[in-house]
A and B are shown apart, each in its own frame.
Chain A
Amino acid sequence: GENVEQHPSTLSVQEGDSAVIKCTYSDSASNYFPWYKQELGKRPQLIIDIRSNVGEKKDQRIAVTLNKTAKHFSLHITETQPEDSAVYFCAALSLMEYGNKLVFGAGTILRVKS
């Protein structure tokens, strides 16, 4: 089955700097890769996603890149702000016989210091 690895586990950046979180996946058939932001005690919220037919997607300060050949994808946050502090999870859609499921990375705790 799909295995998703995420690095780093924690990341501290100064306000205004950029943050990059990287994930690798194992199943070459996976075709959908979302990123979620989760604040303490709250539900995960989708911040950006990318499909396998696209190499890069950007939404204001957030961008995601996908390298299908290497089976890795990355989240880039520019001009970080204190409110970006949260746990970020990458995920890959695993195609199963009985349906499709999202397999999540272990998460990255992002701290933006002001």
Chain B
Amino acid sequence: GAVVSQHPSWVICKSGTSVKIECRSLDFQATTMFWYRQFPKQSLMLMATSNEGSKATYEQGVEKDKFLINHASLTLSTLTVTSAHPEDSSFYICSARVWVNTEAFFGQGTRLTVV
């Protein structure tokens, strides 16, 4: 299957700093990538849909100024958590699809801990 690579796999940062997470599709072009947040023992909550060359579409309740998404190329999307606070600590996962109505491939996730 297609490979989606996400980096870093874990990061610890100080409160008030910003953290950038990268999501790359290694062997296919993804016009659309998705960013999820997952709290312990909970489901995947979609944060935003990232479209190459255009602004991301954010889900209701997700602060677009807090979670900056850039999809500059067909193989790379980034999520920047700005001015991180302890409540932003979570597992962030990206996914990408080759076509609509087909399998979504997930990155390995990033465990963010804000201290």
| A interface residues with partner B (beta carbon < 8 Å) | 31-32, 34, 41-46, 49, 51, 89, 93, 98-107, 109
Contact = CB atoms under 8 A, between A and B. Distances in A.
Interface of B: 1, 32, 34, 41-46, 49, 51, 57, 91, 93, 95, 100-109, 111
Given A102-B104, A104-B45, 17 more contacts: A31-B101, A41-B91, A41-B109, A42-B108, A42-B109, A43-B108, A43-B109, A44-B106, A45-B106, A89-B44, A93-B100, A93-B101, A99-B49, A102-B34, A102-B46, A104-B43, A104-B44
A93 B91 CA distance: 22
Nearest to B32: A99
Contacts of A103: 46
A104 B93 CA distance: 13
23 contacts: A34-B103, A41-B109, A42-B108, A42-B109, A43-B106, A43-B108, A43-B109, A44-B93, A45-B106, A46-B1, A46-B103, A46-B105, A89-B43, A89-B44, A93-B100, A93-B101, A98-B49, A99-B32, A99-B51, A102-B34, A102-B104, A105-B43, A107-B41
A51 B100 CA distance: 12
- Of all A-B residue pairs in the complex, the 9 with the closest CB atoms, nearest first, are A43-B106, A32-B101, A104-B44, A106-B43, A104-B43, A43-B108, A98-B57, A107-B43, A100-B100
A43 B44 contact: no
A46 B106 CA distance: 9
B43 to A, nearest CB: 5
B69 to A, nearest CB: 14
B34 A44 contact: no
Interface of A is mostly: strand
B42 A106 contact: yes
A98 B100 CA distance: 12
A44 B49 contact: no
Contacts of A46: 1, 103-105
Given A31-B101, A104-B43, A106-B42, A43 B93 contact: yes
